[in-house]
């Protein structure tokens, strides 16, 4: 593989440009192409983002010089596009969720392991250095036996009934919305940091806006742009705005998570509190450079993101000294550093340090059990 790894990005809504910006901060990667639903839109976006080549998806797959493809399209396209990329003998980084059906994700995991190609799912929130620090502190016994987990992921970009996005449509986002979209991040981090496996779930959903005003003109995620009333069509909504899920873990401990996309003032707030036999950790993604460490026998501690205070496994994810705050955009850069090291080696490593298609399948299984539990209003085993 030549020194410079060539990448293509499929889909240029909210997250596609975030992938692009992160890749442009890596020395050995060049984003040479992007794909969109029409050649005209692809040309327009490529010009706007300064990317030399623009294609429809199928045409991009024929470009032999492209080594890696980032799938940043709506959920319902992930399975077919990830499969086509692997079959075109290219490495793939797919946005979460990996697919909308478990059997699709199972097939992708099989194909990926058969090809040996690098495969990753963009659970980028694992790459806040403080999240890796919590995991490493737990592994080194600084948390002690996990007693309980309390988590939430709160947003307000779908707060109004005029806020609309493809994620509200099950044929595009899958049966679950808030759990699939943001719950997957929180549940992934819960198992990643604690090292525990969720064994049972009890879920309760609510849809605050039973109908929403769907704009008859396209507007993008987080845009919150307002149109005139004639530009809207009232549509029924049957995906969850809010969900609370009780959790049981394989060490017998318990927990709960709440996700909401209608929590006013909460912009993109993942908060997790993990209580253990020696300490208690609390992390908030809107204040990602701090960790609260609770103590019984002495004063609590506030750990700041500073490489000199971190375990080496976690300081590897830090690019700036203490007090030089890093945030959401840096998480994708740090993840891609690890994924592209694997790409440069030419194959998927034995024990990847990054979230893989198998991680994506795990979140899809948990997500589907949560949807089933809400329907049955009963505990469901994972």
**Burial grade of 233 (CB within 10 A; 0-12, 13-18, 19 or more):** exposed
Nearer to ligand SOE, 55 or 127 (CB): 127
Residues 6+ apart with CB under 8 A from 248: 198, 199, 200, 201, 254, 255, 379
Nearer to ligand SOE, 183 or 255 (CB): 183
Q: What is the dihedral of CA 227, 232, 237, 243, to 10 degrees?
A: 10
The 135-174 contact track toward ligand SOE, x by CB under 6 A, reads --------------------x-------------------
Nearer to ligand SOE, 36 or 188 (CB): 188
Nearer to ligand SOE, 14 or 76 (CB): 14
Closest-by-Cβ residue to ligand SOE is: 181
CA–CA gap between residue 131 and residue 146 (Å, rounded)? 16
Q: Are the CB atoms for 69 and 91 separated by under 8 Å?
A: yes
Tell which one of 35, 120, 182, 262 touches ligand SOE (CB under 6 A).
Answer: 182
Nearer to ligand SOE, 36 or 181 (CB): 181
Residue 181 touching ligand SOE (CB under 6 A): yes
Question: What is the bridge-based pairing of β-strands 269-276 and 254-260?
Answer: unpaired
CA distances, 288 to each of 159, 168, 284 (Å) = 24, 28, 6
Tell which one of 113, 136, 223, 268 touches ligand SOE (CB under 6 A).
Answer: 268
Q: Are the CB atoms for 96 and 119 separated by under 8 Å?
A: no
Nearer to ligand SOE, 85 or 180 (CB): 180
Q: How far is the CB of 92 from ligand SOE (least distance, A)?
A: 17
CA–CA gap between residue 201 and residue 183 (Å, rounded)? 13
Q: Is the peptide bond before 188 cis (omega within 30 degrees of 0)?
A: no
Give a three-class secondary structure readout of 209-244: CCEEEEECCCCCCCCCCCCCHHHEEEEECCCCCEEE
Q: What is the CB-side half-sphere exposure of residue 170 using CA atoms within 13 A?
A: 10
- Count of residues near ligand SOE by CB under 6 A: 8
Cβ neighbours of 345 (radius 10 Å) = 11
Residues paired with 205 in a beta bridge: 243
Q: Which stretch binds ligand SOE (CB under 6 A): 2-10, 79-87, 179-187, 348-356?
A: 179-187
The interface with ligand SOE within residues 34-73 (CB under 6 A) comprises none
Nearer to ligand SOE, 275 or 332 (CB): 332
The interface with ligand SOE within residues 313-372 (CB under 6 A) comprises none
Q: How far is the CB of 261 from ligand SOE (least distance, A)?
A: 7
Q: Are the CB atoms for 305 and 288 separated by under 8 Å?
A: yes
Q: How far is the CB of 215 from ligand SOE (least distance, A)?
A: 17
Q: Which stretch binds ligand SOE (CB under 6 A): 130-138, 178-186, 206-214, 315-323?
A: 178-186
Round the CA-based radius of gyration of the chain to a whole number and report it.
21
The interface with ligand SOE within residues 216-235 (CB under 6 A) comprises 221
Q: Which stretch binds ligand SOE (CB under 6 A): 67-75, 109-117, 180-188, 206-214?
A: 180-188
Nearer to ligand SOE, 15 or 130 (CB): 15
Q: How far is the CB of 353 from ligand SOE (least distance, A)?
A: 20
Q: How far is the CB of 173 from ligand SOE (least distance, A)?
A: 10
Q: How far is the CB of 18 from ligand SOE (least distance, A)?
A: 9
Q: How far is the CB of 166 from ligand SOE (least distance, A)?
A: 11
CA–CA gap between residue 93 and residue 55 (Å, rounded)? 18
Nearer to ligand SOE, 262 or 342 (CB): 262
Residues 6+ apart with CB under 8 A from 240: 176, 177, 178, 179, 205, 206, 207, 374
Interface contacts to ligand SOE, rule CB under 6 A: 14-15, 155, 181-182, 185, 221, 268
């Amino acid at each position: 593989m030549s020194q410079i790894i060539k990448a293509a990005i499929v889909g240029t809504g909210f997250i596609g440009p975030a992938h692009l910006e992160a890749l442009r901060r890596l020395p050995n990667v060049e984003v040479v192409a992007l794909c969109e639903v029409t050649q005209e839109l692809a040309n327009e976006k490529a010009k706007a983002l300064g990317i030399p080549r623009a294609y429809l998806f199928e045409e991009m797959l024929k470009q032999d010089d492209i080594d890696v493809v980032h799938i940043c399209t709506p959920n319902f396209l992930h399975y077919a596009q990830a499969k086509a990329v692997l079959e075109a003998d290219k490495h793939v980084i797919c946005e979460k969720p990996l697919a909308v059906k478990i059997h699709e994700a199972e097939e992708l995991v099989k194909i990926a392991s058969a090809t040996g190609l690098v495969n990753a799912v963009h659970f980028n929130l694992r790459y806040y250095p403080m999240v890796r620090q919590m995991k490493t502190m737990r592994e080194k016994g600084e948390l002690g036996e996990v007693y309980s987990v309390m988590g939430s992921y709160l947003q307000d970009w779908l707060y109004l009934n005029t806020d609309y996005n493809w994620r509200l449509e099950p044929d595009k986002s899958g049966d679950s919305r808030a759990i699939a979209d943001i719950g997957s991040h929180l549940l992934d981090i819960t198992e990643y940091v604690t090292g525990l496996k969720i064994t049972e779930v009890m879920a309760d959903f609510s849809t605050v806006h039973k109908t929403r005003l769907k704009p008859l003109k396209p507007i993008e995620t987080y845009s919150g742009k307002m149109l005139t009333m004639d530009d809207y069509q009232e549509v029924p909504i049957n995906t969850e705005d809010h969900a609370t899920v009780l959790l049981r873990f394989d060490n017998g401990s318990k927990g709960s998570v709440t996700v909401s996309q209608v929590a006013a003032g909460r912009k993109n707030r993942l908060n997790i509190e993990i209580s253990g036999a020696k300490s208690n950790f609390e992390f908030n993604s809107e204040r990602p450079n701090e960790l609260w460490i609770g103590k019984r026998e002495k004063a609590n501690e506030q750990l700041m993101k500073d490489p000199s205070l971190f375990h080496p496994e976690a300081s590897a994810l830090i690019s700036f000294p203490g007090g030089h705050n890093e945030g959401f955009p840096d998480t994708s850069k740090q993840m891609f550093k690890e994924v592209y090291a694997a790409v440069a080696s030419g194959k998927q490593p034995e024990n990847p340090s990054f979230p893989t298609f198998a991680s994506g399948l795990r979140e899809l299984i948990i997500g589907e059990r949560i949807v089933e539990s809400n329907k049955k209003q009963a505990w469901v085993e994972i």
